[in-house]
Amino acid sequence: MDAYILLEDGTVFKGKAFGANKTVFGEIVFNTSMSGYQEILTDPSYAGQIVVMTYPLIGNYGVNKEDVESNKIQVRGFVVKEYSKHDSNWKSEENLSDYLKKEGIFAISNVDTRMLTKKIRNQGTMNCVLTTEKIDDNIKKQLKEYSFPKNIVSNVSIKDIKNIKGKGKHIGIIDLGLKKGIEKQLKNLGCSLTIFPWDTSYEKILSYNLDAVLFSNGPGDPKDVKVAINTAEKLIGKIPLFGICLGHQILALALGGDTYKMKFGHRGGNHPVLDLRTNKIMITAQNHGYAVKDSITKEIEITHININDSTVEGFCNKGLNINAVQFHPEAGPGPNDASIILKHWVDLVEEGDNA
């Protein structure tokens, strides 16, 4: 069945529908990863977005129950150059189209994704609509009226506090859209975990006798998550704080810094990051459309920058026991160069206890 993409600037792309046929609106972004489409589909940081894969062949290794970052597909829609109908991998349990259909996600193939990606790079991130219907004035009107939801974090965060026992340090996680890969890596480090809904009060969090608190990754504009910013402000100086991706931005705002929307963001598994303290470069997995301005206050030390555009990729405040990175250290999907980050943070908590 023919399908169409209508961009906010009026550009139309034609392709073929697969997955669940429906009309969907969302913010269109692109991801440059060569593999890991199932992790991308299920990453809560993509909630509300329509993802274009720049790698031309998608679906060739199928899907399985293990390679997921949450309990469902989070993207609004999916766009690929060529969809492989025949999956071939020892872990595959079903093909991509059936998986998308079961989850109610609309996808389009046979699209010139190279041209579409260049359009997004030149024009910047835009809203769009995916549909099998004729592009008429009604569709155009709906697209013009569409806006990205401001309550997106509340849609992806857990609803009840979750406890995971371990023999090591007790880490609290503010779930702003937590990926399973982060939870898994902290469990592998032996940590006990208490995962809190995004709007949990700081008094409730401190009542759990935690050794540190991590603000997780998540979707949307960090300035919309005012409750989490306020919680971070009240926790500063009382307990070691860590942040990943959206959590990195939340902590920067809580410290009096600022964030801004990037033209087309960083999304993929091949982003080079320089650690300014060691002068070593890591290849990292990233997924963010907002960044922290480099004019952060309160004696913040910028620890990491992006090699491609010099944007802030990490900061710390040793006196306040705050460490944060913009990229994803859990390698889900992508390179594992940065996997040492979470271990380093846990070690810092242990060193603090022995000081």
Contact 156, 182 (CB under 8 A): no
Q: What is the CATH topology of the domain spanning 153-354?
A: Rossmann fold (3.40.50)
Q: Coil, strand or helix: which one is 192? A: strand
Q: How many CB atoms lie within 10 A of CB 194?
A: 18
Residue tagged active-site, from 248, 271, 288, 328: 328
Known active-site residue 316: no
Catalytic pick among 27, 39, 69, 330: 330
38-85 pLDDT tens trace = 999 999 999 999 999 999 999 999 999 999 999 999 999 999 999 999
Q: What are the extents of the domains in the chain?
A: 2-145, 153-354
User: Catalytic: 288?
Assistant: no
CA distance 244 to 232: 13
Determine whether 84 is exposed, middle or buried from the number of CB atoms within 10 Å of its CB (0-12, 13-18, 19+). Answer: middle
CA atoms of 20 and 103, how far apart (whole Å): 8
| E strand map for 63-197 | 77-79, 82-83, 106-109, 126-131, 162-164, 170-175, 192-197
Task: Please list the helix, strand and coil fractions of the chain in percent, rounded to the nearest 5, in that order.
Answer: 25, 35, 40
pTM: 0.95
Three-point CA angle 61, 64, 66, nearest 5°: 125
Is 248 part of the annotated catalytic residue set? no
DSSP 332: S
Class of domain 2-145: alpha beta
Give pLDDT tens digits along the chain (355 positions): 999 999 999 999 999 999 999 999 999 999 999 999 999 999 999 999 999 999 999 999 999 999 999 999 999 999 999 999 999 999 999 999 999 999 999 999 999 999 999 999 999 999 999 999 999 999 999 999 999 999 899 999 999 999 999 999 999 999 999 999 999 999 999 999 999 999 999 999 999 999 999 999 999 999 999 999 999 999 999 999 999 999 999 999 999 999 999 999 999 999 999 999 999 999 999 999 999 998 766 678 999 999 999 999 999 998 999 999 999 998 778 888 988 999 999 999 988 765 4
- Phi, psi values for residue 25, rounded to 5°: -115, 150
Name the residue with tokens 């060569």: 34
Spot the catalytic one: 128, 191, 245, 316.
Answer: 245
